[in-house]
Amino acid sequence: MPCTTVLVGKNASNDHSTMIARTDDGFFDVKKLVVVRPKQQKQRYQSVISHLEIELPANPMRYTACPSVDSKEGVWAATGINAAQVGMTATETITSNPRVLSADPLVRYKKAKSRGEKDVPGGVGEEDFVVLVLPYIHSAREGVLRLASLLEQYGTYESNGIAFNDENEVWWMETIGGHHWMAKRVPDDMCVIAPNQFGMDSFDLDDAFGKQTAHLCSADLREFIAENKLDCNQGGKFNPRDVFGSHIDSDHVYNTPRAWFMGRYLTPFSHRWEGENAEFTPESDNIPWALVPDRKVAVEDVKYMLSSHYQGTPYDPYTAQDTGKRGMYRSIGINRTGVTSVCQIRPDAPKPIRGLEWICFGSTTFDALLPVYPNVQKMPDYLSDVSLEASTENFYWASRLIGALADAHFGQCVQLIERYQAAVFVRGRQIVREYDKKIAETGDLTLQTEANEALCRMAREETNAALTKVLHEASVCMKNGYRRADN
């Protein structure tokens, strides 16, 4: 599933929190935010796409998830934070090359061709990962190891990148072919930018096969590389992107420009992104996987990057200037995004409320990012009670309506959108500050439920107000407008 990911180490953020964020760019999937309690977690999991049955451990934790409202293709839980304050987002669809995929083929479901044959199940994939992993892990590293064991046992039918975070660490994991994998701890002072490509551009194999301080991988990865002559590197260096990734022409329209915009935003001074002497252009294949930002990164910065339509550049599809380059690159804030989340784990908050989950439905360019406390028994109806029919009674559909109306009248609506997004940030942070303090003083964790209701009341108020204003502007700009004075 085409998505965009941003990861933030604890020393790269303004408040020493870790963050993992991703736009879930499906096919206009209708999404909701729910809490899955231990009794709701089935002990025997049945995947829809791969027809695979997996026995699950008997001790799941409560966790949040953003499943698809229409479950005909499976759960697609997407992202969440569990009761141990561990976050997970799955997945960033990545690419691989024919050399890798021929040596370790993807494990796809095979339907029986005749009555005497049996169906052959496929491996695990994006449909399954969050449900199979998040309820059972107590750290980001544990997340990597649990998913690795599933990949090695069952394989996967697609190439994916998966992120985990806890209060101290952020880990990024990439699958290699059907059964192999590698994972790297994001350096504390760095941010990772990942746009649908095999991302890691450095990896310490000695550490992975030694102390495993910041690198983990399949036990036979060295042999796998050597036996299949996968190493295309020169000069003794090891760049996984060149070994396991792919380089195709469409990357320069679809993928690398997204990395370029995010890198340009994070390091406007320490790297040159434009002009004749640019180190990196929108079509560079060597844009770094991780960067030390020129200033500390806040949630608002993550949202800005994931809302990108190349604003401030000639590639902005909404620019009024005739640049000759409008819309030539795939935006990050795309129309078909179902949900965007930022899983933030805050070390300075009491342990049970360290997790804060920020949620945005629909196109990030137009919609607001709302924080909620995940360690609760149930999410407010405004986030969880979503149907397949449009309604202003929930955050998903109200957000979709704002985006669809504002897109066609960007110039008239952009200020309304900016004010709306800022208002939700400001008031959301105020409510979180208020309830962080109350919970710390009283130790009453049930106040999280009260806080979430207050946050959703605020979001409904601001969203309905923005929708009303945007609808008015869109109505004024209708093509069938006419007055007698127009004669």
Domains of the chain, start order: 3-365 (3.60.60), 387-487 (no CATH)
Task: Map tokens 């009341």 to a residue.
Answer: 457
Alpha-carbon distance of 287 to 334, in angstroms, equals 21
| Consecutive H or E run containing 215 | strand 215-217
Alpha-carbon distance of 326 to 310, in angstroms, equals 9
Residue 484 banded pLDDT, cuts 50, 70, 90: confident
**What's the burial of 311, exposed, middle or buried (CB within 10 Å: 0-12/13-18/19+)?**
middle
**The tokens of 369 are what?**
């990012």
Q: What is the pLDDT of residues 345-398, one digit of tens each?
A: 999 999 999 999 999 999 999 999 999 999 999 999 999 999 999 999 999 999
**The tokens of 299 are what?**
């949630």
DSSP-derived secondary structure letter, 408: T
Could you tell me if 217 and 181 are in contact, meaning their C-beta atoms sit under 8 angstroms apart?
yes
SS3 3: strand
Could you tell me if 50 and 120 are in contact, meaning their C-beta atoms sit under 8 angstroms apart?
no
Residue 459 pLDDT greater than 80, yes or no: yes
User: What average pLDDT does the structure give for the chain?
Assistant: 97
Q: What is the pLDDT of residues 349-358, one digit of tens each?
A: 999 999 999 9
Alpha-carbon distance of 35 to 299, in angstroms, equals 23
Could you tell me if 401 and 366 are in contact, meaning their C-beta atoms sit under 8 angstroms apart?
no
Contacts for 232 with CB less than 8 Å, ≥ 6 apart? 242, 243
Percent of the chain with pLDDT over 90: 96
191 tagged catalytic: no
| Consecutive H or E run containing 217 | strand 215-217
Alpha-carbon distance of 174 to 247, in angstroms, equals 17
Q: What is the pLDDT of residues 47-61, one digit of tens each?
A: 999 999 999 999 999
Alpha-carbon distance of 166 to 134, in angstroms, equals 12
Residue 52's pLDDT is 97
DSSP-derived secondary structure letter, 182: E
Contacts for 396 with CB less than 8 Å, ≥ 6 apart? 30, 31, 32, 339, 361, 362, 386
Task: Map tokens 């941003």 to a residue.
Answer: 6
Residue 482's pLDDT is 87
CA distances from 377 to 59, 61, 96, 373, 383 (A): 17, 12, 40, 10, 14
Least confident of 126-135, 166-175, 316-325, 478-487: 478-487
Average pLDDT of 321-327?
95
- How many Å separate Cα 482 from the centre of its chain? 45
Alpha-carbon distance of 129 to 149, in angstroms, equals 12
Residue 235's pLDDT is 85
Residue 45 banded pLDDT, cuts 50, 70, 90: very high
**The tokens of 239 are what?**
């760049």
Residue 1's pLDDT is 60
Alpha-carbon distance of 73 to 120, in angstroms, equals 18
Count CA atoms closer than 13 A to 465's CA, side-chain side: 14
Nearest to 345, CA basis, from 134, 167, 141, 137: 167
Taking the model in full, what pTM does it have? 0.97
Taking CA 321 as the corner, what is the angle to CA 318 and CA 325, rounded to the nearest 5 degrees?
75
Residue 155 pLDDT greater than 80, yes or no: yes
Residue 28 pLDDT greater than 90, yes or no: yes
Residue 487 pLDDT greater than 70, yes or no: no
Average pLDDT of 22-47?
96
Could you tell me if 94 and 181 are in contact, meaning their C-beta atoms sit under 8 angstroms apart?
no
Q: What is the pLDDT of residues 242-277, one digit of tens each?
A: 999 999 999 999 999 999 999 999 999 999 999 999
Residue 17's pLDDT is 98
Contacts for 479 with CB less than 8 Å, ≥ 6 apart? none
Active-site pick, 3, 217, 360, 413: 3
Residue 402 pLDDT greater than 90, yes or no: yes
Alpha helices (runs of H) in 307-446, residue ranges in sequence order = 381-384, 395-407, 410-442
Residue 236's pLDDT is 85
Could you tell me if 305 and 332 are in contact, meaning their C-beta atoms sit under 8 angstroms apart?
yes
Residue 29's pLDDT is 95
Q: What is the pLDDT of residues 198-256, one digit of tens each?
A: 999 999 999 999 999 999 999 999 999 999 999 999 888 999 999 999 999 999 999 99
